Amino acid sequence: MTKTSTTNPRVLGAYEGFVKHLKNFLDEQQFNHEEYTNFVKWADRLGRSGEIPLFLDVFVETHVLESKYKDSPGTEPSLLGPYYEENSPVLEKSPFVMPQRDDEPGDKLVFTGNVSSTNGPLAHTKVEWWQDDADGLYSNYDSPAPDFNLRGQFVTDENGDFEVHSIVPIPYQIPTDGPTGEFTFAAGYHAYRPAHIHIKFEHEGHETLITQVFFEGDKWLETDVAGGVRESLLTKLEDKGDHKEASLNFVMRAE
Ligand SMILES: [Fe+2]
């Protein structure tokens, strides 16, 4: 059977644009053949190690998002990253308590927010939340915690408000023992991400919003290895004695 050609103009356009800019880039950098060969070997190690999603999410995803959204209204997206997991537990009752161990380490966090639309108020938005634990690890990936620890989904109320009870996330390092770490250190970067909460919003008639929340005063805000920080995604962590409080509002883009 012969394969029929199904042209996708986006593929050709993207490839031609890439080659055009690649030529300028190569004129500028003047790589020698040994450098090219070293790159090919590194890229091969990257693929074999399974780190292509990690590398692209850390070093490329933020630029894709920034290009598309920097001048548009609504909350700025930030990277999805490699630690998202579908089908997290559905939390029915507000305040929404993130699944956690009996003795979950870390500072208790009460987070309040509101989700609206570029068109105005918005009721009943689906929200997915995931974060690291007090050891800087993610359930389902590198944490010994049960699957879906500190992951959950819920729906905002009729005014778009929600309240989550969880723990305060901490800064963590991206994996450093493979080709991604090799690149990170060869470039002279550190491997830290500032503390953040991952959050995803879905509502009919609106573009899905995937973003992150960061905290003022974090040591790594300026030099986040993944470059995910945006001014509008920063909030204050307020000390309330036995817990911390933070708040941020989000605006989805109407389609
Ligand atoms: Fe993360």
pLDDT digits (tens, 9 = 90+) for 189-223: 999 999 999 999 999 999 999 999 999 999 999 99
Flag whether 4 is in a domain: no
> Same structural domain for residues 151 and 37?
no
> Same structural domain for residues 14 and 85?
no
> Same structural domain for residues 137 and 43?
no
- Is 240 in contact with 108 (CB distance < 8 Å)? no
In angstroms, what is the span from residue 200 Cα to ligand 1's centroid?
A: 13
The predicted model gives 147-169 an average pLDDT of 98
In angstroms, what is the span from residue 125 Cα to ligand 1's centroid?
A: 22
Flag whether 59 is in a domain: no
> Same structural domain for residues 110 and 41?
no
Q: Across all residues in the chain, what is the average pLDDT?
A: 96
The predicted model gives 102-106 an average pLDDT of 96
> Is 174 buried (19+), middle (13-18) or exposed (0-12) by CB count in 10 A?
buried
Flag whether 55 is in a domain: no
> Same structural domain for residues 229 and 112?
yes
In angstroms, what is the span from residue 41 Cα to ligand 1's centroid?
A: 28
Pairing of strands 120-121, 108-117: antiparallel
pLDDT at 2: 66
In angstroms, what is the span from residue 83 Cα to ligand 1's centroid?
A: 7
pLDDT digit string, tens, across residues 229-244: 999 999 999 999 999 9
H or E segment to which residue 186 belongs = helix 179-186
In angstroms, what is the span from residue 251 Cα to ligand 1's centroid?
A: 21
Flag whether 58 is in a domain: no
Confidence category of residue 166, pLDDT binned at 50, 70, 90? very high
Range of the structural domain that residue 23 is part of:
9-49
Total domains present in the chain = 2
Q: What 8-state DSSP symbol labels residue 141? A: T
> Same structural domain for residues 237 and 168?
yes
In angstroms, what is the span from residue 157 Cα to ligand 1's centroid?
A: 26
| Dist. CA 109–CA 90, nearest whole Å | 19
Q: Which chain residues have CB less than 5 Å from ligand 1, an ion?
A: 81
> Same structural domain for residues 148 and 245?
yes
> Same structural domain for residues 26 and 80?
no
Flag whether 218 is in a domain: yes
Flag whether 85 is in a domain: yes
In angstroms, what is the span from residue 31 Cα to ligand 1's centroid?
A: 34
- Is 203 in contact with 117 (CB distance < 8 Å)? yes
| Dist. CA 195–CA 215, nearest whole Å | 7
